[in-house]
Structure 1
Amino acid sequence: MSSSAALAREQRAERNRGRPTLSFDGVTPYAHYTAVSTLLSLQRPRTEEPAETTFLVATQVMELLFALIRHEWEQARDAVDADDVPAALAALRRGHKAQDVLAESWELLAPMTPTEFNRFRDQLGEASGFQSYGYRHLEFLLGNKSAAMIRPHRADPHVSAELERALAEPSLYDAVLRLLHRRGFPVPAERVERDWTQPAEPHPQVVRVWELVYADDRPDNELLALAEALLDTAERVTLWRHRHAMAVKRTMGAKAGTGGSSGLQWLMRNVQKDVFPELWQLRTQL
């Protein structure tokens, strides 16, 4: 914080006698900073059904949160790459708060009945949350890599290039295993250097590495704190997936999805997939 800016704020408050400023040249600084006019122009329902506006806002809020969580997870990964575990923990914990809001955002859609949804569902055409490239970035950062998932975005060179980059980079979990390797833990070589575009199968030696980390449960063991923060992240991902599946089950049951999937059946399969499975497998062995 610059001292000159702080002084200007103090002087402004003194001139205003503690009251907020009411006169500005042009739009308010708040409207300029937040681009609120642009933001509020993006809700364009296609029917007269009131629930459609709720659906649009909820979806757009989720996209903003995807972007925020991606930012935090990339910050965490980069901090791990730089051996800065405290910074990684701070980023993951900020991400946890955003993940909590993301999961709770399904509450916006909870009151919507199947009848209300059916009044505007046809307007979606083939649009589906499965096509969200913001969400796809998160899946790649978690290590759920699949080149085929970039295919829907081929018509947008910028988006496809960003996803190709994310596909080829180590995931957040990959970065943590590489950190453990640098700290002297016996991480298998095939998990230290590999083709990052491919998902990794759970490895018993990685579970063993996590056993060694958990063997030191002193409060100042930053690697144990990092492991627990990863579990907090993983649990929140599963919670969001489950809330998604329950929202779909409540509004459309087992009908086929708009994007060509089986809908609920597809979503429930994803709910069953553990995030960072070796950290979960460890729980059975400790």
Structure 2
Amino acid sequence: MLTTTSAQQCPYIAADVEGTDAEARARRAQGNGGEPTLAFDRNTPYVDYAGIDTLLRLQNPRTDEPAETTFIIATQVMELLFVLVQERWEAARDALEADDVPGALAWLRRSAAAQDVLNDSWRLLGDMTPTQFNRFRDSFGEASGFQSYGYRKLEFVLGNKSAAMIRPHKGMSGVADELRELLERPSLYDAALRLLHRRGLPVPGEAVERDWTLEYEPDGRVESVWAAVYADDRPGNDLFLLAEALVDVAERVTRWRHLHLMAVKRTMGGKPGSGGSNGLTWLARNVEKDVFPELWSLRGIL
């Protein structure tokens, strides 16, 4: 920790320390006459803080096709947003495990906002034609969004678990470890069901303590529990608010999957995927798979 004495001994450090407080900012604004600072001896603080130089060096198209740059940027934007969404889903999960429903609701609202931006990022690719895509497709070889460990982490946090999905990343030890940790932990939906159980609702024991590495299987008894929650839709029922917040998340996930499907359909049709899948058929199966299944099936019985 920087002491007052060490700051006095180094005027440059002292200036940096002073420059971090509100009074220093006010003095700077007054000294500038309300205008922004224009003189810097090196990189601007903005560039250093956000790593802008590094960020802008990460676009390295392999062809002369302009659409390839768009494709790379859209992919990178999505990967950054995966990190943000994961952070918020995990925070919501941890809040539920701590019986903090208001905290979980706040994190789920924030995650929905990030998901909206994530879904809108598909618009960057919305007008890409098959001919444009074909001019650079061969340049990325076997690269495929299926290999995104950021997206795989999201699926694991949601509860779409599969140990086999770690295999593409086994050569990346740190990544494989992170995925394995998420595989072995309760998902966001598991945490919600465990909360309902602690509140005294008849959630079956198999949903409260089970092998978390296995994908969640829908249960009619869980559907009945959620139906009981929906029977009390007063604004003060935090469990009802939780259910609807989870539906908000799930709907956005399904929308993202559908937008992915349509982007692929528009640019390459029914051709095989670059990562070895059958392309549209594989993506369509994901679209049809409900996230938090009983929250959707109960709508047919209410």
Q: Structure 1-normalised TM-score?
A: 0.98
Alignment partner of 1:256 is 2:272: yes
Q: Deviations over 1:184-209 (max 9, x none)?
A: 11110000000000012111110111
| Residue 183, structure 1, aligned to residue 199, structure 2 | yes
1:212 equivalenced with 2:231 (yes/no): no
Q: Which amino acid aligns with 1:232?
A: D
Mapped partners of 1:216, 1:110: distance in 2: 42
Within a 5 Å distance, the mapping from 1:60-71 to structure 2 comes to 60-71=76-87
Correspondence for 2:297 = 281
Q: Match for residue 87 of structure 1?
A: 103
Question: Which stretch of the first structure deviates more once superposed, 152-161 or 107-116?
Answer: 107-116
Name 2:177's counterpart in structure 1. Answer: 161
**Which SS does the other structure have where 1:43 is aligned?**
coil
Matched, 1:30 2:46: yes
Deviation at 1:78, TM superposition (A): 0.7
How many angstroms does 1:13 deviate by? 1.0
Q: CA deviation digits over 1:3-58, x for unaligned, max 9?
A: x7122211111111111111223211111110000000000000000000000000
Structure 1 residue identity aligned to 2:234: R
Q: Does 1:50 align with 2:80?
A: no
Question: Which residue number corresponds to residue 198 of structure 1?
Answer: 214
How many positions carry a matched residue from both structures?
A: 284
CA distance in 2, matches of 1:199, 1:102: 25
Question: Which residue pairs with 2:137 in the alignment?
Answer: 121
**Cα distance in structure 1, aligned partners of 2:236 and 2:149:** 38
Once residues 232 and 126 of structure 2 are traced to their aligned partners in structure 1, the CA distance between those partners, rounded to angstroms, is 43
Q: Which residue of 1 aligns with 2:243?
A: 227
Letter in 2 for 1:155: G
1:32 counterpart SS class: helix
State the match for 2:160 in structure 1.
144
In the alignment, is residue 102 of structure 1 matched against residue 114 of structure 2? no
Q: Note the alpha carbon deviations across 1:130-173, whole angstroms, 9 max, x for none.
A: 00000000000110000000000000000000000000000000
Q: CA RMSD in A?
A: 1.1
Unaligned runs of 5+ in 2: 1-17
CA distance in 1, matches of 2:280, 2:216: 26
With 31-40 and 9-18 compared, the bigger mean Cα shift is at 9-18
Deviations 1:237-276 (A, max 9, x none): 0000000000000000000000000001110111000000
Identity of aligned residues (%): 68
- Give, in whole Å, the separation in 1 of the partners of 2:44 and 2:98: 40
Q: Which amino acid aligns with 1:196?
A: W
Q: Classify the secondary structure of the residue corresponding to 2:21.
A: helix
Moved over 6 A (4+): none
Alignment correspondent of 1:76: 92
The answer on 1:8 being equivalent to 2:19 is no
Length-normalised TM-score, structure 2:
0.92
Structure 1 residue 215 displacement after superposition: 1.4
What is the CA-CA distance between 1:91 and the residue it aligns to?
0.8
Aligned mates of 1:236, 1:209 — CA distance in 2:
23
- Per-residue CA deviation, residues 48-72 of structure 1 (Å, 9 max, x unaligned), is 0000000000000000011110010
Q: Distance in 1 between matches of 2:41 and 2:227?
A: 62
In structure 1, how many angstroms separate the alpha carbons of the residues matched to 2:129 and 2:228? 50
After TM superposition, the structure 1 stretch with the greater mean CA deviation from structure 2, 94-103 or 51-60, is 94-103
Instruction: Show the counterpart of 2:75.
Output: 59
Paired letter, 1:273: K
- Give the structure 1 partner of residue 5 of structure 2: none
Work out the CA distance in 2 between the residues paired with 1:51 and 1:41. Answer: 17
CA distance in 2, matches of 1:144, 1:280: 16
